[in-house]
Amino acid sequence: MKYPCHKEQLTSLRRIEGQIRGIQGMVEEGKYCVDILNQIKAVKNSITTVEGKILKTHLHECIKNSLKGNDDFNAKMDEIVKVLKR
């Protein structure tokens, strides 16, 4: 099976990586707790956005393809539910 490309998410992931490094710097410099927490919240929101985009692609391409082919639809649905429960 050919998997969809998620390279368009690399820009966001690199930005998140930079945000994490920024948080590390804030901790090392002893910045104010609330400022650090605000940055952590921003990273969590960014990760959620990337997660949503990858999930949407998965649903549109992988799940859609499983309906056309011989793949087991129920197995794909179980896989999604398992991922979302984590």
What's the whole-model pTM score? 0.79
Would you tell me how many other CB atoms lie within 10 Å of the CB of residue 30? 8
Residue 34: Cβ-neighbour burial (10 angstroms; 0-12, 13-18, 19+): exposed
- What pLDDT shows up at residue 70? 61
- What pLDDT shows up at residue 26? 98
The dihedral built from the CA positions of residue 79, 84, 85 and 86, taken in this order, carries a sign that is: positive
Residue 28 in tokens: 């090392």
Residue 49 has pLDDT above 80, yes or no: yes
At 80, the pLDDT band (50, 70, 90 cuts) reads confident
- What pLDDT shows up at residue 23? 98
Please tell me the distance from the alpha carbon of residue 28 to that of residue 31, in angstroms, as a whole number. Answer: 8
Residue 86 in tokens: 């984590």
